[in-house]
Amino acid sequence: MIRTCLNVEGLRAVTYLTIIKGGLKMSIKKWLSKGLFLGGLVSFVFIFMFSGCGVAPKGFDPEIKGPQMIVEPGEISVGVAKLTKTPIVFKGKGFQPEDSVFITLIGVKKNGETLDVPVADGDVDKNGCFAANVGTVVKVSELLNAKIGSNKKMENVIIVSQPAISPGTYTARAVSMESNKIAVCKLVVKAPSMGDKFKDWMGVRLGKIEKK
């Protein structure tokens, strides 16, 4: 009788342990599955959000002795949120020291016309170099063909009512005011990626972008 009870109790204990182990295995499997799913989701969102990043900028050509210019980055997207947050800098060398430069984007189509659009200006230092930033107002008005307004909270809002400039490879030209020296470089304009469109959708939802 005692042996039978022990056997029964032992069987119950083994069964109980088996159930616990089985449940633990299922929990681990569920946890791993959930972890893998979340990891995959995070990876997908990361790739999605950062797809379409600009190409690495080219440096100055050491073989050129005269004026030359580069732009960083050499490739931009006309997604509203993406472009307004992307620093764009034109850099030049070989210009007359203490001069100033005026930079335009050549051959931009606007309202049925082909125009040279002003995008930046800067001062040349004593070494003949300059760095000219493209400001937010220029990005919005000249590249995105949009406007800057305000909402009820008096926060800045980008108002989009027409398409941005067409994707393509544009020539940027820097002309110095006094010495009339000229340098050019290429700027690649790309259509918004899926990640850029998602950012703009979020901007609309948050009231930072208004589309008409």
- pLDDT of 44: 42
Cα gap 13→20, rounded to integer Å: 10
Cα gap 54→188, rounded to integer Å: 9
Spatial CA neighbour of 130 closest among 119, 141, 121, 138: 121
Contact in structure between 119 and 103 (CB atoms under 8 Å): yes
The half-sphere exposure of 53 on its side-chain side, counting CA atoms within 13 A, is 8
Spatial CA neighbour of 209 closest among 149, 166, 135, 141: 149
pLDDT digits (tens, 9 = 90+) for 74-126: 999 999 999 999 999 999 999 999 999 999 999 999 988 999 999 999 999 99
Q: Which position has the higher pLDDT, 11 or 151?
A: 151
- Is residue 142's pLDDT more than 70? yes
- pLDDT of 32: 41
What are the DSSP E strand ranges found in the chain?
68-72, 75-77, 89-93, 100-110, 113-123, 130-133, 147-150, 156-160, 168-176, 182-190, 209-211
- Is residue 212's pLDDT more than 50? yes
- pLDDT of 181: 96
